Amino acid sequence: MKKRHLTLLIILSMFIIPFSSNFADERPNADIILVIDKSLSMIDKIEPVKQYVETSILGPENVQIGDFLIIVNFYGQAELLNSFEIASEADRAKAGNIISSIFTNPGQTHTDIGNALDVAQREITSLTSSDRPKVILLVTDGIQEAPKTSKYYSPDGTFSHRLLDMATPFAKQGWKLFVIEIGESEATRFFTEKLGGTYKSVSDTPTEQELEGTIDEFRGTIILSQRPELISVPDSGKAEISLELKSQGFSADQLLQVKEARISGYGITETDVLEKQQEYSMPKDGSETVVLPLSFPLTLEPGDYQTDVSVIFEGENQFTPNVFSLRVHINSFFENYPWLLILLIIAVLALLALGVFFIIKFIGSRGVKFRVLVEEQPLKKGMDIFSLGEGNHLYLNESMGYISVVKTRSMRSYGRIAGIKNNITFEPLKEKFIIGFKRERQNMIGHQITLKSEKGALFHITFLQV
């Protein structure tokens, strides 16, 4: 009998132990914030909402032991009902009782969604577990009717500019946000997208079953863990950004659908630059690199633009933060065509080299400045100095007892003076009248020649540097 009991126990343990292990929740703990609208316009809709939150959202598949829970309700004001750690099933029951107590004081006027988000944000930032995922559920009928005392007041009951302006810094915090609207409005959908959240709508008179179909993976998060700080855009306007995403807390692999990538900043009007809608498969736990193909307006001037990129999603899944800063550099003409710049530089250098060559040649062509000193018959002052460029000639003449230097050869020319670099040479034309000069094209600066005229007069001529 004992053997039979032992065998039965072993068989049962083979089924019970694996079955029990399925209940072990290894998902990371999270901070969960419930924000419930209790304005007068919600009075006939609140019961199915409370039932849905108690039975579905607060169930163990969405809220697990170790999570921290914040419960806020709002109307014209926002009230922090409680914040505590779910340390046991008793704490889960306590949370259900708090949700059940919402609307015990009817007659609350106005609806101030901005104030409710401010209170939720204040409570979130006070948590010490700042590194844990943050999941926010906001349930409202979407009627924005902030009181005049609120900074989010709008006279026509729409979402004020100040409320819309707070959406970008809120989205940059990187919290997963679900907004369930009782009814449906484009204004609430647009505001949710700017907040970086997932928008769901139900009928004006929802049932608990209808609400249960709104959220599948409440606590699963996809985190933007790495992104570029700068991208360069060529003249085609086409560019890509690579994003490192990390998913956790899902029960199965997920489909991430990116619908838009809106970019805005100084000098750039908000516009969708995503080339086409993208779909990515994300593991239930793990990392994945996704690439967003972008197409920028061709009207943007070259230069740097500091921008915010706001990524909009289709479906329930999103990554957070969905708004991040990005420096966009629009390439200049030569950045798009660097080979033209290289050619231009080569051309400029060639022109400079050519210019230097001609300058040197010009300077060299100026030759030398020299003085002709005739001991026996000095030339007139001011008429005894000459400039002779390289390759040019002057002629040494004698006529009627006078020595002269002229540009044109004649019957009275006794020798030719030629310009060379930094010097001159002398070439006798009537050699027998040039006494003692034997070498042609001798450098003559600083040297003397003796000329004997046809009538026998002697002239001692010295060429001096000026």
User: What's 231's domain CATH number?
Assistant: 2.60.40.10
**Both 37 and 173 in a single domain?**
yes
State percent of the chain over pLDDT 90.
61
**Among 349, 365, 381, which residue terminates a domain?**
365
Domain identity same for 203 and 278: no
Estimate to the nearest angstrom the gap between the alpha carbon of 158 and the chain centroid. Answer: 34
Whether residues 359 and 372 fall in one domain: no
pLDDT of residue 11: 44
Is the same domain home to 263 and 382? no
pLDDT digits (tens, 9 = 90+) for 448-458: 999 999 889 99
The token pair that represents 228 in the structure block: 């570029």
pLDDT value at position 132? 86
Phi, psi dihedral angles at 452 (to 5 degrees): -110, 120
Task: Out of 155, 190, 212, pick the residue that ends a domain.
Answer: 212
Q: What share of the chain has pLDDT > 70, as a percent?
A: 91
In a domain, 152, yes or no: yes
**In terms of domains, do 32 and 170 share one?**
yes
Least confident of 153-167, 242-256, 274-288, 355-369: 355-369
Are residue 205 and residue 230 in the same domain, yes or no?
no
Note whether 93 and 236 are same-domain residues: no
* pLDDT over threshold 70, residue 20: no
Alpha carbon distance 142, 26 (integer Å): 36
The answer on 412 and 350 residing in a single domain is no
- Looking at the domain assignment, is residue 11 inside a domain? no
Mark whether 49 and 180 lie in a shared domain. yes
Do 454 and 311 belong together in one domain?
no
2 occurs within a structural domain: no
The overall average pLDDT reported for the chain is: 88
If asked whether residues 83 and 177 sit together in one domain, one would say yes
Domain range for 125 is 27-212
What is the predicted pLDDT for the residue at 416?
94
Total domains in the fold of the chain: 4
User: 460 in a domain, yes or no?
Assistant: yes
- Are residues 342 and 274 part of one domain? no
